[in-house]
Amino acid sequence: MNFEVTNMIFALPEMFMLGMACAILLVVAYLGEKGTNIVYRLSQLTLAITALLIYRSLGESGITFDGTYIKDGFSDVLKMAVMLINIVVLLYSTSYLKSRNLFKGEYYVLAIFSTLGMMIMISAAHFLTLYLGLELMSLCMYAMVAMHRDSKLATEAAMKYFILGAIASGMLLYGMSIIYGATGSLDLATIAATIQAGGLDNTVLSFGLVFLVIGIGFKLGAVPFHMWLPDVYHGAPTAVTLFIATAPKIAAFAMAIRILVDGLGDVHQYWQGMLIMLSVLSMIIGNVVAIAQTNLKRMLAYSTISHVGFILLGVLSGSQEGYAAAMFYALVYTLMSLGSFGMIILLSRQGFEADTIDDYKGLSQRNPWYALMMLILMFSMAGIPPLVGFYAKLTVIKSIIDINLISVAIIAVLMSVIGAFYYLRIIKVMYFDKPKQSEPLEAPAEMRVMISVNALSVLALGLFPGALLAVCASVFY
């Protein structure tokens, strides 16, 4: 293995983040709770400098660490998105953690190490690198869910997440071992070349693919591997739910692209059928079950399942246009989810979670501006023009129409209409019901400003979607 500086420079953002994560861990160990404010600032600084390092190396590409790490346009865009999203996540989380005596350095240490795992996943060119990043990300999130030790809900959610996550990781690892047995390599490029050369046992490849798709489906939260998602979203502290619901979805999407497209793209006919089933089931069950929810976090969890179904539509198309549409959808969904959970935190206060739909009654009378921000976010999730959620759904549906999967496209359109019901119910409650609460918002000024920027960016991207669509398309051409 060649460890020359020229080969290691591609991984400079990851190396910097690892060094800072270890430094932050030492600050937590020596200063304890007294140093939490310092830890928060160091964490934000780490994310900002890492984003700057990624930005400065845009346009460069290559494979290093003996073919296990890849730097390309795809990884650069997704890593930049992860950094920016997590900067906002930590900003939103701080006031929530302070008001519940959860403002501890461990949250930020786990968040930084988990972010490092996401970066490794996004740049993985080898099954072992991918698995390393996945486990680093997942193990940190298991611990984050269990942070609120006095909460039975949080403890139960963490146990479910850990056990089911361990099973899914085992399935993924077993699938990787079968692919290794069939192709003789764990390197994604070598696997792709071996499959292209032909002469392999397609039955063995298909068997390994089943386990790989199970692992991908679990990490994305697709039906029927979704059982952990509503309980974890509901049981975890909202600050942790916010973290789990955003950037990790980008990393899981990157894992799907690396495995299915980069490594196994030539057996598209085998995994397309599996993804069609996952996608259709996710859209149907996610949207239908969300209608029955009274808890907003659980409703958004089932909403996530339905959005994952739409993301998979782009991936299963097998075309560059479809992959770009799926990437656009993943980034847009993350932005909308960030704002939605941010609104829950904004309206929460000590002793009050603001996580039921009834808590939003009369919000337009209490605070017209933030009611408008929530309206923008809900309309966008419902896919109503001219907001960016509409263009995200339009692009993925177009990608499957282009390959003549008309029946799947019709199901997607019908599920979009059904899904609009529970989003519009939130708006009805905000604007047409009498308020149950009269207390003023207690969130700090920087969070209020960021929530507004978050929601307005959804509107701006809807009015001018071309730039982000072009960026997503550029990494696949």
Convert the pLDDT of each residue in 134-179 to its tens digit. Answer: 999 999 999 999 988 888 888 999 999 999 999 999 999 999 999 9
Tell the burial category of 121 from Cβ atoms under 10 Å away from its Cβ (0-12, 13-18, 19+): buried
- The per-residue pLDDT for 6 is 61
- Give the contacts of 107 (CB within 8 A, at least 6 positions apart): 93, 97, 144, 147, 239, 240
Neighbours of 426 (CB within 10 A): 23
Residues 339, 373 contacting (CB under 8 angstroms): yes
Residue 384: strand, helix, or coil:
coil
Residue 447 predicted with pLDDT over 60:
yes
- The per-residue pLDDT for 351 is 67
- How confident is the model over 16-62, as pLDDT tens digits? 999 999 999 999 999 888 888 999 999 999 999 999 999 998 888 88
Cα–Cα distances in Å, from 59 out to 9, 108, 183, 281, 349?
A: 14, 31, 32, 39, 45
Residue 460 predicted with pLDDT over 90:
yes
- The per-residue pLDDT for 67 is 84
* Crossing angle of helices 73-99 and 320-347, rounded to 10°: 10
Q: Average of pLDDT values for 235-251?
A: 93
* Distance of alpha carbon 442 from alpha carbon 88, whole angstroms: 18
- The per-residue pLDDT for 265 is 83
Residue 110 predicted with pLDDT over 90:
yes
Cα–Cα distances in Å, from 471 out to 116, 313, 336, 463, 475?
A: 23, 19, 19, 16, 7
- Give the contacts of 78 (CB within 8 A, at least 6 positions apart): 122, 250, 251, 253, 254, 327
Residues 408, 280 contacting (CB under 8 angstroms): yes
Residue 117 predicted with pLDDT over 70:
yes
435 pLDDT band, cuts 50/70/90, is confident
3 pLDDT band, cuts 50/70/90, is low
Nearest to 129 by CA among 5, 218, 12, 255: 255
Q: Average of pLDDT values for 243-270?
A: 91
- The per-residue pLDDT for 63 is 87
DSSP string for residues in 173-207: HHHHHHHHHHHS--BHHHHHHHHHH----HHHHHH
Residue 341 predicted with pLDDT over 70:
yes
Q: Average of pLDDT values for 374-391?
A: 92
Q: What percent of the chain has pLDDT over 90?
A: 67
Which helix (H) or strand (E) element contains residue 71? strand 69-71
- The per-residue pLDDT for 197 is 86
- How confident is the model over 197-222, as pLDDT tens digits? 877 778 888 899 999 999 999 999 99
Q: Residue 71 pairs with which residues in a beta bridge?
A: 62
426 pLDDT band, cuts 50/70/90, is very high
Name the amino acid, one letter, at 426: I
Tokens 């009369």 correspond to: 362
Q: What percent of the chain has pLDDT over 70?
A: 98
Decide which of 268 and 42 is more confident.
42
Q: Average of pLDDT values for 272-291?
A: 93
Tell the burial category of 257 from Cβ atoms under 10 Å away from its Cβ (0-12, 13-18, 19+): buried
- In this structure, the dihedral spanned by the alpha carbons of residues 158, 160, 162 and 163, taken in order and rounded to 10 degrees, is 160
Pairing of strands 69-71, 62-64: antiparallel
